[in-house]
């Protein structure tokens, strides 16, 4: 059906921040660049989107979370009926709301969204965050009008790297200009280098333990630590002058601006944020799953913008012998920052928004 001035767009994705964050960043740019567009988000009632999407001012339509069965069991027997129900629900949504394009970011809601769109001949746009694509996006990419990725080397057909859509406050962060204010906000000394240690919103036990055990050595060497432990993980960890311990930071741009070096997991969103702002990093890939975190970090490590250490090798001794000397080496950090920034992409949300609205208008 033709559309001229008011494209109707369904953004599908949810569950984890890796799906919700780029979805919301894209939604914000669609709204900014095409204020007349109608944006609806498809998610589940229990994912992060249940809180974050309405808080951002977008309409959220929810369907049941129906994972593909991995083994023959009772859930596998119930799967066809449950999945068929979600598929019918999404088909009705696309027809009733006269959706022009479906843009998917991965997660449980995407397979029914992709199949419903295909059955009604609605065009698809797929964004894949990881080097190794998930099942949902492998399904959607087969008939997508555009396949966009955060990293090069995707196995998805016709993939084009645009980077990771992210909030403007991070994508266009000037770390140097924001540094002093950020340091004051965390109660840190502007004359001493800062290690940002974070395992994400859920935290990472190995990172938390190693940082706590090595903290005294860092402080004695004249360094500081901003330690984001994850919700409920700060108890018993040292919070004193020069070692700021917090469970969660809602505005990560402040933490990035305060830091000279990051010690972090290598999720796709984290890698793309670090490289967009040019923050050197020591990456510690999550050792479970399909190995995607190690793949995500390979290119920026090869470019010289980060180092990588296996989870099993990260301990207080490694922090003292390897990470601390790096934190104190201004010349090395400057070179790594330049390499990181050269790898990063800052306008992915804008590009994604333009692609989605362009496909909608051509529908």
> What's the confidence (pLDDT) of residue 326?
98
> What's the confidence (pLDDT) of residue 75?
63
Question: Which 3-state string (H, E, C) describes the chain?
Answer: CCCCCCCEEEEECCCCHHHHHHHHHHHHHHHHHCCCCEEEEEECCCCCHHHHHHHCCCEEEECCCCCCCCCCCHHHHHHHHHHHHHHHHHHHHHHHCCCCEEEECCCCCHHHHHHHHHHCCCCEEEEECCCCCCHHHHHHHHHCCEEEECCCCCCCCCEEECCCCCCHHHHCCCHHHHHHHHHHHHCCCCCCCEEEEECCCCCCHHHHHHHHHHHHHHHHCCCEEEEECCCCCCCCCCCECCEEEECCCCCHHHHHHHCCEEEECCCHHHHHHHHHHCCCEEECCCCCCCCHHHHHHHHHHHHCCEEECCHHHCCHHHHHHHHHHHHCCHHHHHHHHHHHHHHCCCCHHHHHHHHHHHHHHHC
Per-residue pLDDT of the chain (363 residues; tens, 9 = 90+): 444 568 999 999 988 778 899 999 999 999 999 999 999 999 999 888 999 999 999 999 999 876 666 666 666 666 666 777 889 999 999 999 999 999 999 888 999 999 999 999 999 999 999 988 988 899 999 999 999 999 998 899 999 999 999 999 999 999 999 999 999 999 999 999 999 999 876 668 889 999 999 999 999 999 999 999 987 777 767 778 999 999 889 899 999 999 999 999 999 999 999 999 999 999 999 887 778 899 999 999 999 999 999 999 999 999 999 999 999 999 999 999 999 999 999 999 999 999 999 999 998
> What's the confidence (pLDDT) of residue 203?
61
Domains of the chain, each with CATH number or no CATH = 8-166+347-362 (3.40.50.2000), 173-343 (3.40.50.2000)
- pTM above the 0.85 mark? yes
> What's the confidence (pLDDT) of residue 200?
74
> What's the confidence (pLDDT) of residue 69?
64
> What's the confidence (pLDDT) of residue 186?
96
What is the number of alpha carbons within 13 Å of residue 58 lying toward its C-beta?
Answer: 32
């Amino acid at each position: 059906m033709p559309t001229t001035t008011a494209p109707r767009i369904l953004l599908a994705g949810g569950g984890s921040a890796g799906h919700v964050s780029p979805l919301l960043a894209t939604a914000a740019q669609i709204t900014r660049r095409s204020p007349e567009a109608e944006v609806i988000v498809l998610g589940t009632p229990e994912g992060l989107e249940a809180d974050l999407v309405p808080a951002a001012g977008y309409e959220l339509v929810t369907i049941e979370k129906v994972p593909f069965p991995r083994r023959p069991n009772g859930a596998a027997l119930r799967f066809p009926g449950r999945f068929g129900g979600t598929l019918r629900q999404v088909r009705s949504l696309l027809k009733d709301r006269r959706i022009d394009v479906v843009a998917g970011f991965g997660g449980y809601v995407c397979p029914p969204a992709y199949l419903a769109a295909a059955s009604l001949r609605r065009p698809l746009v797929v964004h894949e965050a990881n080097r190794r694509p998930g099942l949902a996006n492998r399904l959607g990419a087969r008939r997508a009008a555009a396949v966009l990725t955060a990293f090069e080397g995707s196995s998805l057909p016709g993939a084009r790297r645009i980077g990771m859509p992210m909030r403007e406050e991070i994508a266009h962060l000037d770390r140097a200009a924001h540094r002093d204010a950020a340091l004051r906000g965390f109660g840190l000394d502007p004359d001493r280098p800062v290690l940002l240690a974070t395992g994400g919103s859920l935290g990472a036990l190995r990172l938390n333990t190693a940082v706590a055990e090595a903290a005294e050595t860092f402080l004695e060497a004249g360094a500081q630590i901003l330690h984001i432990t994850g919700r409920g993980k700060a108890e018993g960890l040292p919070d004193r002058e020069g070692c700021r311990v917090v469970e969660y930071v809602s505005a990560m741009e402040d933490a990035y601006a305060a830091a000279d070096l990051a010690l972090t997991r290598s999720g796709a969103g984290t890698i793309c944020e670090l490289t967009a702002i040019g923050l050197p990093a020591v990456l510690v890939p999550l050792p479970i799953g399909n190995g995607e975190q190690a793949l995500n970090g390979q290119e920026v490590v090869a470019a010289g913008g980060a180092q990588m250490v296996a989870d099993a090798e990260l301990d207080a001794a490694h922090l003292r012998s390897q990470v601390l000397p790096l934190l104190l080496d201004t010349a090395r950090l400057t070179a790594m920052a330049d390499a990181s920034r050269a790898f990063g992409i800052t306008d992915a949300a804008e590009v994604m928004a333009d692609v989605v609205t362009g496909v909608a208008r051509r529908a």
